[in-house]
Amino acid sequence: MKYSDAEAKYFKRFGRWKIILILLTLTLISTITLAVTIGPMQIQPLDVLKVIVKNLPLLGTFVKGGSLPLQEAVVIQVRLPRILAAAIVGVALAVAGVVLQGLLRNPMADPYVIGISAGASLGASLTITFGIGFSLLGVLNSVPLMAFITALCTVSIVYNIARKGGGVPMLTLLLVGVAVNSFLLAVISFIEMVSGEALHVIIFWILGSFAVCNWNYVKIALPFVTVGVVLIYVFARDLNIILLGEEQAHHLGVDTERLKKIMLACASLITAAAVSISGIIGFIGLIIPHITRILVGPDHRILIPSSALAGAIVLILCDTIARTIIRPAELPVGIITSLLGCPFFIYLLRERKGSAIW
């Protein structure tokens, strides 16, 4: 049998995927390096690399040359944790967005649609307003912890309300999510009203920022996001198939109810982890999946890793702008993502007028 074009091309795509991922990884590394150089104190990119490598286990012993104590302090203690936190949150939001858009087969879905943002905001604003101060193992203060807990509680409430018989109809889940979101927003507005001086803190938290991120935040969020994203990637092919509808996915051997459960749990967990350290950063979870889909196609086996990398890159860039544009003050990064993201996304949509984006 002649080895035809279509077959050859099908296998070529795996090679293309590798190239895409390598390019995105290189871009991410350069973005991190670049972002670390920018700030009140200019640091040379080479110095940045030197400092980073020096602090890595094993590799560190190979770095020679003079020490740069000041630069090292700024890079390691201030900038790097913040940038890595942005990367982790970017990965989490983008991947959760991919999963929810796929599961709900709805282009308007984002990680917040099933109540995570409102739940987290509720926990955060309660904690801030009533000054509930405690810390877990002395590494994390109470706001992210409460936000994480209330976010997961909200999702599980939404899930259980939407549950019917043995399964969860996705459309019901979406509607319940919208309803619970609105309800909680009303509660949050009320808390803001009575919060007095804490109002500013609440608003700043809800708009999203990495200003307070230190290594502890990174250490807390990283395991959740890593496990969640890896687990989601494992189910990439199932996510492709469920795009044809649950009934057809079922006919093709996908245990749809189990898939939905695992995917919702993973997406909720990584989103909650992200939100609890950064606040509610909008738009990343909505547009990164779309942009990536336009660029690499709809196959989740490439869509998930490339969205993850793109989410990290974009959020690092946005955070860099947020912390430098009105120096010495800072803008909430959520403002930047939406201000820059919307026009770019609309431009992409217009460019692709001819064929369906979805």
Partner 1 sequence: MVTLRISGIDCNYGSIKALDNVTFSVRGGEFIGILGPNGSGKTTLLRAISRTLKPRVGTVFLDDINIYDMKSREVAKNVAVVPQETIATFDFTALDIVLMGRNPYLDRFRTESKEDIAIARKAMELTNTWHLAERPVNELSGGEKQLVIIARALTQETRVLLLDEPTTHLDINHQISIMDILRGICKEKELVVLAVFHDFNLAARYCDSAMLLNNGRIFSIGPLDAVLTGENIRKVFQVNMIVKRHPITNLLYIVPLSTSRSKITPSKDMIVHIICGGGTGASVMKTLLEQGYGVTTGVLNTLDTDYDAACTLGIPVVNEAPFSPITEEAHKANLAMIEKASVIVVGNVPFGYGNLKNLEAAKVALERGKTIIVVEETPIQQRDFTNGRAQNLLSELKSKGAIVVESCGEALSKLETLENELLQKS
d(CA 248, CA 266): 23
Residue 212, token pair as written in the block: 């307070």
d(CA 124, CA 127): 5
Number of chain residues interacting with partner 1 (CB under 8 A): 35
The answer to whether 321 and 83 have CB atoms below 8 angstroms apart is no
The answer to whether 6 and 13 have CB atoms below 8 angstroms apart is no
Among residues 285, 335, 337, which one has the least CA distance to residue 110? 285
Q: Which stretch binds partner 1 (CB under 8 A): 47-55, 150-158, 295-303, 339-347?
A: 295-303
297 binds partner 1 (CB under 8 A): yes
237 binds partner 1 (CB under 8 A): yes
Residue 226, token pair as written in the block: 């890593």
299 binds partner 1 (CB under 8 A): yes
Please list, in sequence order, all residues whose beta carbon lies within 8 angstroms of the beta carbon of residue 116, skipping any fewer than 6 positions away.
151, 154, 155, 268, 271, 272, 275
Please list, in sequence order, all residues whose beta carbon lies within 8 angstroms of the beta carbon of residue 284, skipping any fewer than 6 positions away.
89, 90, 93, 94, 97, 311, 314, 315, 337, 341
139 binds partner 1 (CB under 8 A): no
244 binds partner 1 (CB under 8 A): yes
Nearer to partner 1, 11 or 62 (CB): 11
By CB under 8 A, name the one of 156, 222, 250, 340 that touches partner 1: 250
42 binds partner 1 (CB under 8 A): no
163 binds partner 1 (CB under 8 A): no
Among residues 163, 155, 205, 202, which one has the least CA distance to residue 180? 155
Segment 58 to 117, residues that bind partner 1, using CB under 8 A: 105
Nearer to partner 1, 220 or 304 (CB): 304
Segment 252 to 281, residues that bind partner 1, using CB under 8 A: 252-255
247 binds partner 1 (CB under 8 A): yes
By CB under 8 A, name the one of 55, 172, 301, 324 that touches partner 1: 301
Site for partner 1, rule CB under 8 A:
1, 4-7, 9-11, 14, 105, 234-235, 237-238, 240-241, 243-245, 247-248, 250-255, 293, 297-299, 301, 355-356, 358
